[in-house]
Amino acid sequence: MAPLDDISAIDATGIAELIREGEVSSREAVEAHLRRFESVNPRLNAIVVPRFEQALREADGADAAAKGERGPLHGVPITIKECFDLAGTPSTVGLTERVGRPAAADAPLVARLRRAGAIVLGKTNLSQLMLWAESENPVYGRTNNPWDRSRSPGGSSGGEGAAIASGCSPLGMGSDFGGSVRIPAHFCGVCALKPTSGRLTMVGSGDALDRQEALSDQAGPMARSVRDLELAFSVLAAPEPEARDPLVPPVAVRGSSDISIAGLRIGFYEYDGFFEASPALRRAVREAAGALSDLGAEVSELRPPDVEDAYRIYLGLFSADGGANMWRQLGDGERDPRIKPLERTAKLPRPIQRALPPLLGVARQRRLAFMAGSTGPRSVDAYWGLLAERKRYRAHFMAALDRSRLDAVVCPPFPTPAMTHGASSKLGPVGAYTTLYNFVGMPAGVVPATRVRAGEESDRRGKADVTDREARAIESGSAGLPVGVQVAARHWREDVALAVMAALERHFRARSDHPSGPPV
């Protein structure tokens, strides 16, 4: 049997293999991760709904099961984001009024993971209503980044990112509406995949975004390795034994082993034309492009079309109800501090709201003016107009890929390394690097690449915009933090995205500055 202290550093695929070969028991695997939890979680607050006694009982049952009854994740401990229903536990999405309301049954995706043999250790933290790139709420408090506790692990699936990076869990499931698995992966130095929008059912994932069908939330795996992402995705996207969700197209899952990097046409960009990425992010993308070229891919620079316009439409669609759904769900419950200013602004008289963008523009706050002008309540006619604009933009974006016959795209996942706590309320509209792929619906993932080097923290100079100043403050002292690279592929071609990510993982893991493990 392997030493317990080593198991919490092994990826889920490796643990499954050890259990299958009889070298490690499921109980040992679970106990190893519980020991790690006891050591680091008090400083991180990543797993916020533990179910350790049940997990140990399930591990004993897994060890007693006949070999013929074992699934691909047999006996492997995992975690899931708090929003997903797990029988006997609450799915509060950070709302105080939902505390003490346990789910009666597992969400379909949770049920699939458990049928495959996975053992759920617990549920992980998130932002209230899953609204921003941090993981803090009035129910469970704040989650810290295992690389630097003064920084956020990202959000809204930041609890998953922190749990996996710190060794509390080898594999997890989050959800992604605008980067919510990919940003935590980048901030924490782990891997994540957002499948094609609509690929996986979101039944049983809380109703925070249920009314928003113009833009779809999507479940996605988070893990220590790309091979773990592929293993989990194959389980999550397998044909359903339960009644099929009619909104999920029955598209077959393809494995990445048949994909050769040589001959793929891959575009890359360091800057999306909206918000400049920091030096380490740009370097990571350049190195990724060079590595793929060395492997025989045809690599060319891409200028993504009108990202600011896509972000404007995205924000308009998301806020078209003026926040009514948000306030309805919050009810009389406690608000996270980041929500309070949004609520005050949303409830200002409409003439004052209309005056904000030009006033911010005069104050040289271009990005905040853009955000204020892009959000707010819409008439039905204006909402339909945004839907028409979305359709035109998607066609425009795909035409840009078609002109260069691109199979995949490599770019930054975020403009900066991990944010300091609270910065999301000041940083403003900076999520376009990930949001773009939610908006067009393409699969996209993040793989760890490097760490910020001393002397390359920031090159933002002399800019009056408050978002640039906040980005510069985030970049200050960021040396040593992990940096990820984002890979997107054509619709339904998760296999291509995973193949490119695996190639980059092999390249970057051989480098001395690869973020192989946080200091926590």
Domain boundaries, the chain: 4-302+404-509, 321-377
* pLDDT exceeds 90 at position 364: no
Apex CA 40: angle with CA 36 and CA 42, to 5°? Answer: 125
Residue 268: name the closest of 414, 401, 448, 438 by CA: 401
Residue 404: name the closest of 492, 302, 295 by CA: 302
* pLDDT exceeds 80 at position 348: no
Q: How confident is the model at residue 193 (pLDDT cuts 50, 70, 90)?
A: very high
Apex CA 138: angle with CA 328 and CA 185, to 5°? Answer: 100
Which CATH code fits 4-302+404-509?
3.90.1300.10
Residue 17 corresponds to which tokens in the numbers above?
Answer: 């293999």
pLDDT the model gives residue 243:
61
Supply the angle between the helices 466-475 and 366-374 in degrees, to the nearest 10.
Answer: 110
Catalytic-labelled residue, pool 8, 127, 152, 180? 180
Taking only the tens place, the pLDDT of each residue in 281-326 is 999 999 999 999 999 999 999 999 999 999 999 999 999 998 888 8
**CA separation for the pair 145, 163 (Å, rounded):** 9
Q: What is the dihedral of CA 416, 132, 310, 301, to 10 degrees?
A: 30
Residue 446: name the closest of 181, 52, 213 by CA: 181
Catalytic-labelled residue, pool 8, 26, 81, 194? 81
Taking only the tens place, the pLDDT of each residue in 203-216 is 999 877 776 788 88
pLDDT the model gives residue 244:
67
Catalytic-labelled residue, pool 8, 127, 156, 278? 156
* pLDDT exceeds 50 at position 177: yes
Taking only the tens place, the pLDDT of each residue in 419-474 is 999 999 888 778 899 999 999 999 999 999 999 999 999 999 866 788 999 999 99
- Is there a catalytic annotation at residue 166? no
Supply the angle between the helices 366-374 and 350-362 in degrees, to the nearest 10.
Answer: 160
- Is there a catalytic annotation at residue 463? no
Please state the rounded mean pLDDT for residues 349-374: 81
pLDDT the model gives residue 1:
40
pLDDT the model gives residue 362:
67
- Is there a catalytic annotation at residue 180? yes
pLDDT the model gives residue 462:
67
pLDDT the model gives residue 4:
45
